[in-house]
Amino acid sequence: MLAAGPARAGDISATYNATYNATWAGLPAVRIRLVVHDGAARYADRIDIETQGLPRLFTHFRGTATAEGRLGGQTPAAPSAYEAIYDLRKRRNSRISMRFVRRGGVSVIERGSDDTSDKPPLAPRFRTNAVDPLSAFERIREAIAAARVEGGSFTVPVYDGARRFDVIGHIPPKERQNPGTLRLDLTLWPIAGFKKRPGGEDPENAPRMVRLVVTDDQRLMPLWLSVPIWYLPLVVRLVPGTVNR
């Protein structure tokens, strides 16, 4: 497994971790552990994912991803590095490695030297001023904190090493929310690197609607998430009693 790199002393002021179970079409599918390290200046997040039940028989997937970057000021979360190691069927110890390089006043994502991807990277325009999937979570939390009272909308550009998509979010006004929680309506909007599937099958390049519920406190930790996969819902739920600080 891959551990997050060390943050400078004084950067990290809080650590939250939680465990989630995911079901697909009502059957056990995935076990997830999320660790969030937050500070006034930096973040260092980690996620561990392992399939269960039938999905494990077909995919044998397990993986760990980490992201580090800068927080604070008037600018949104700015990632510096993203690493992911995963096993999938016969592919062992595959690695996604991304570095965020400042060039001409913008951030450009480049592959690290240890990246094992066999696909060419997307054109630079798709890798400019985008963030990795874990840093997208930090951007979403920032958007929630800014709009949690009156509601609002936001867009987060995401690049996962092969595909570029936008997370388009809408936060309903707080008075429409359940006490202690906040609900978000998200759309995963494909931009580049996605495949079409023939024969009416669930296409990769179709927008996907996501429902997300987070805690209405400083942590803004996910409680529940639902997204359709192959037209059936993947539902992720927090395991009670597993949120620690």
Helix or strand (DSSP H, E) at 137: helix 133-147
Radius of gyration over alpha carbons of the chain, in Å?
Answer: 18
The reply to whether 72 falls in a domain is: yes
Q: Is the pLDDT of residue 138 over 50?
A: yes
The verdict on residue 139 lying in a domain is yes
Q: Is residue 84 situated within a structural domain? A: yes
Q: For the chain, what is the domain count?
A: 1
Q: Is residue 243 in some structural domain?
A: no
d(CA 134, CA 47): 8
230 domain-assigned = yes
Residues 27-46: tens digit of each pLDDT: 999 999 999 998 878 999 99
Mean pLDDT to the nearest integer, 146-154: 83
**Side-chain half-sphere of 175: how many Cα atoms within 13 Å?**
1
Name the burial class of residue 209, with classes exposed (0-12), middle (13-18) and buried (19+) by CB atoms within 10 angstroms of its CB: exposed
Q: What is the mean pLDDT of residues 222-237?
A: 94
Structure tokens at 56: 């494990």
* Domain range for 94: 14-238
Q: Is 185 part of any domain? A: yes
Give the pLDDT confidence of 157-188 residue by residue, as tens digits: 999 999 999 999 998 887 666 788 999 999 99
Tell me, yes or no, whether 6 lies in a domain.
no
The pTM (predicted TM-score) of the whole model is 0.88
In a domain, 49, yes or no: yes
Rounded distance between C-alpha atoms, residue 135 and residue 44, angstroms: 9
